Structures are given as C-alpha cells and as structure tokens.
Amino acid sequence: MTQALNLEQIRAKYLRDLQNQNPAAHVHAGSDNHVRATAIAAVGEGQYQHQEWILRQAFADTADSAFLEKHAAKYGIYRKAATFAAGKVRINGAIGATVPIGQQINVGEQVYLTVAAAVIGADGSVDVPVMAAAAGSNQNQATQTSAVLQSVPAGVDGTAVLLEMVGGTDAETDESLLARYEERLRRPAAGGNQYDFRNWCLEVPGVVDAFIYPLRRGNGFVDAVILGENGIPSEETLAAVQTHVDAVRPVTRKNGFLALAPTIQAADVAVTVTLTANADKDASTVAIKSAVNAYFGTLKPGDTLIKSQLETLISEVHGVIDRVLTAPAGNIRPSESGNDIYWIRPGSITVEYTS
C-alpha cells in the first residue's frame, strides 16, 4: 500500500515538479507558487487521510463503531444493549403493612423500584423483588447495602437493606462485539455444536460469558453456565437465555438445554512466606494476594483448583524465598450435582511471614 503523504511532503513534490518544468519559477516561502502549493497540499493531505479512513472501515478490526456494527449485522450479530440490575430488598415494618409495587428505594443516587407488592410478615420483615430504574453495571450491589425508602407507606420503616443486585451490564463494547463477530467467522454455524450454543448464549443482553457442558446430564442434554457483569447473572438474564436458545436450538433437542448460574464454592488460602532481607512485607502481601486472585481468575466453573499451581505463582512473587501453603490442604475439586455446576472462588486470603 502506498504511504500516505503529509502536507509538507505533498508541497515539496509540487514545487519540485514545478521547478523541473520551469527552473526560473520562484518556490521560496512567501512566493505565489509556495502559497499555491500549500493550499493544494492541504487538500491533498485531506484526501490521503480520507482514503486511509475508508480503508480502515473495510476491515472489522480497524473499523469505527458504526461500521463495525455493519460488518457484524451481515451475520445477524448486533450490539447488546445495557441491562437492568435486579435483586431483592428486605423491608421492615408492622405486621400486615403493605409495600406497594413501584415503591422507590434509594442507595445514594442510585434508584431501585419494587416490581411486586408485598406484605410484612409475622417476623416484621419481607423480602421484595426490585429492579434498577436505570440500566448499567454501576447499579449492581455485591454486598448488603443500606437503603432508604421514598414516600414511605404507612406501617413501613423508612430504611431497608438491599440484599443483592445482579445482572446489570453496560452496552456491549466494540471489543466484545468484534470478538463475537470474529468467533462467527472462525466457527461458522454448525447445526448445534457446543460453539453454536455458546454463541447463542452470548447474543443475549446481560451475558458476559458462557461455558458449555455437553452431555453432562446424559445424552441429549446441554448445560450452559452463564456469567453476568460480576459473575452471577440475574434470574431475568437466565430466563432470557433459556428462551432465546430454546428458540434457535435444534428442534430435536427438546427440553435438553439448561441455562444456569454458577454455584459459588469458596476456597480459603493461607500461606506462610519467607522473604529476602530487604523485601517490604506490605508490598509483598499485596503482590501475593494479587497473584492468588489472578489464579482464581483462570478457573472456569467446574475447574479443579491445583494446589501446586497456586504455590508456584506465590513462589514467583518478587522477594519470596520460601512458602508453606497451609490452606488449601490439597487440590480442590468442585462439588457436583444434577442442576448445579460449582465455581471455585477465593474466600479469605491470609498471608503470614516467618520471623
């Protein structure tokens, strides 16, 4: 491909050609020919830039967002919209008091709405399903969070506890859309193999990743573990995946597909470390915990935790001379059940040092 020229290069070529035709022509800065050459070069530079831009749009991995969407749309792949977080809130009050549908609940500037009416039970509380008023991953809540009710109904406390909010995702990024497009090119539709099932799952808004387990429950069955923005998807996302895949799967696989969230299996890590004389313990603790979390990040639902691999990563941390990994005691194989696929995630991480 011809190298694009900038203004100075185009002007220099113009003036050189002009002098070749007329050696007496004035080409110094400020001359009429120099001014004219500068104007022409400015237009030429813009044309080169536009041609480069056109060339970038011809390839999906260099195309701008709008043209990337056009490439993907040729294969029925469209950018996934942002999704709404959903979960439950625990509301206290007098027995028999009613929490109406549409009750607004605030956590700072974040707004949630109840999606069903509920009545305070005999224990003075009720767990009510709620949904975020706005889409996006920032509406998720990983831990129990204090919340405030707006326009508090009679007999209901003004404060509540947001138990969980999961499933909120941002609009799909260019990187994610490009990855799905390239996956479609590399693995064309094959009538329902495991890659088809994964691609079908990834088409659903709210799905960040999907892992396919063919034949786990026997012949004719396909299970898919669905991950949301923070790992666990919402029930709404799972239902959407189930509905979508059932609509596109092979017709002979009736009732054979199951979309499910991973079941978390926490694994505590405890290690005693010997450092070099000049190593900083605080910095080493941060680095070791980072290495441990990075290892857990490589584990997919159903994967076994290998103790020796974890030990190796800790040993590779700068300043570590020796380590004794007291927990886990050995390899950890995830639990198994018919409708559960367990995912080993980090529990507590304890780092101690020899004197």
- Are residues 178 and 118 located together in one domain of the fold? no
What is the pLDDT, as a whole number, of residue 2?
Answer: 62
pLDDT tens digits, one per residue of 195-223: 999 999 999 999 999 999 998 888 889 99
Q: What's the burial of 217, exposed, middle or buried (CB within 10 Å: 0-12/13-18/19+)?
A: middle
Residue 242: helix, strand or coil by DSSP? helix
Q: Is the residue at 63 inside a domain?
A: no
Task: Report which of 138, 129, 139, 135 is spatially closest to residue 84, judged by C-alpha positions.
Answer: 135
Whether residues 200 and 249 share a domain: the answer is: yes
Same domain, 332 and 278: yes
Q: Is residue 324 part of a domain?
A: yes
Does residue 198 sit in the same domain as residue 256?
yes
Statement to judge: residues 268 and 256 lie in one domain: no
- Which residue's structure tokens are 């056009």? 70
Whether the pLDDT of residue 346 is over 70: the answer is yes
Q: Is the pTM of this model over 0.85?
A: no
Residue 290 contacts residue 269 (beta carbons within 8 Å): no
* Per-residue pLDDT band at 254 (split at 50, 70, 90): confident
CA–CA dist 15, 126 (Å, integer) = 83
| CA angle in degrees (0–180, nearest 5) for 300-306-308 | 145
Give Cα 3 distance to the centre of its chain. 38
Q: Looking at the domain assignment, is residue 281 inside a domain?
A: yes
CA distance 232 to 155: 34
- pLDDT of the residue at 126: 95
User: What is the three-class DSSP state of 91?
Assistant: strand
CATH of the domain at 249: 3.30.300
281 lies in the same domain as 343:
yes
State whether 349 and 270 are in the same domain.
yes
**Is the residue at 80 inside a domain?**
no
* DSSP letter string, 153-193: PTTEEEEEEEEEEE--BPPPPHHHHHHHHHHHHHS---SS-
Give pLDDT tens digits for 77-135.
999 999 999 999 999 999 999 999 999 999 999 999 999 999 999 999 999 999 999 99
Residues 244 and 214 in one domain: yes
DSSP secondary structure of 271-325: EEEEE-TT--HHHHHHHHHHHHHHHHHTPPTTPPB-HHHHHHHHHTSTTEEEEEE
**End-of-domain residue from the set 231, 260, 289:** 260
Q: Of 220, 237, 260, which one is at a domain's C-terminal end? A: 260
Angle between helices 194-202 and 174-186 in degrees, nearest 10:
160
138 with 105, same domain: the answer is: yes
Per-residue pLDDT tens for 29-68? 889 889 988 999 999 888 888 988 999 999 999 999 999 9
Q: Are 162 and 147 in contact (CB under 8 A)?
A: yes
How far is the C-alpha of 90 from the C-alpha of 146, rounded, in Å?
Answer: 10
Taking 60 as the threshold, does the pLDDT of residue 1 lie above it? Answer: no
User: How many distinct structural domains can be found in the chain?
Assistant: 4
Residues 179 and 153 in one domain: no
Residue 115 counted as domain residue: yes
Distance CA 167, CA 86 (A): 6
As a whole-number percent, the residues of the chain with pLDDT over 70 amount to 99
Domain that includes residue 37, residue range: 7-58
The closest of 176, 85, 81, 90 to 138, measured between CA atoms, is 85
Q: For residue 81, tell me if it sits in a domain.
A: no
Chain segment 77-86, per-residue pLDDT in tens: 999 999 999 9
Output the pLDDT for position 308. 96
Given 166, 198, 223, the domain boundary residue is: 166
Please check whether residue 186 lies inside any domain of the structure. Answer: yes
Residue 65, domain member (yes or no)? no
Q: Is-contact 343 302, C-beta < 8 A? A: yes
* pLDDT in the model for residue 19: 86
Instruction: Please tell me whether residues 243 and 322 are part of one structural domain.
Output: no
Same domain, 187 and 245: yes
How do 125-132 and 98-99 pair as beta strands? unpaired
